Amino acid sequence: MARKLIFPLQHELNQALGEISSNDHFRSIERITIIFRISGDARDFEGDGPERLRYLKKGNELTADLVIPASKWKFVPTKALRIYIKDNFNVIWNWMIEKAESLEEGKDIQSLSEKVYAIMEKFGQHSDVNNSGNHSQ
């Protein structure tokens, strides 16, 4: 069930954020990655929300994990899940900006942040007409 519910949201988010070039806003960071770790019947990641911010120097990449417990996606309306993802993504984004600034990576972070927050606001407000009910596994 998680695959059918969360992966389309993750794909939508990746597409929207993929339109923003990090090269225009960072000195050497080439990629920003959010890893979704989704708890369910097969595995419990024993967390809730943002975890593990890392700078991978070899790949010039900032990564962070977003742990989504089953209680946040099972039997929950898609709109509530979107808001949960948006709110946690915003926390992760703030972590990433702080890390980029500590690495002296920023070129135009304010402009980038404005674009990212606009995308996330739109993502959180999106209404899933065909998938707005409660979900079960």
Task: Name the average pLDDT for the chain.
Answer: 82
State the pTM of this model: 0.81
**19-42 average pLDDT score:** 80
pLDDT at position 56 over 60: yes
Confidence at residue 67, expressed as pLDDT on a 0 to 100 scale: 92
Q: Give the integer Cα–Cα distance in Å for 10 and 12.
A: 5
Task: Give the end-to-end CA distance of the chain in Å, rounded to a whole number.
Answer: 5
pLDDT at position 132 over 70: no
Look at the alpha carbons of 106, 110, 111, 116 in this order and tell me if their dihedral is positive or negative: positive
Confidence at residue 40, expressed as pLDDT on a 0 to 100 scale: 80
Q: Give the integer Cα–Cα distance in Å for 93 and 131.
A: 27
**How many other β-carbons are positioned within 10 Å of the β-carbon of residue 119?**
18
Confidence at residue 133, expressed as pLDDT on a 0 to 100 scale: 46
> Could you state, in order of their start, the residue ranges of all structural domains in the chain?
2-125
Q: pLDDT above 90 covers what percent of the chain?
A: 20
Tell me which amino acid residue 124 is.
Answer: G
DSSP element (H, E) containing 90: helix 78-102
pLDDT at position 135 over 70: no
**100-105 average pLDDT score:** 88
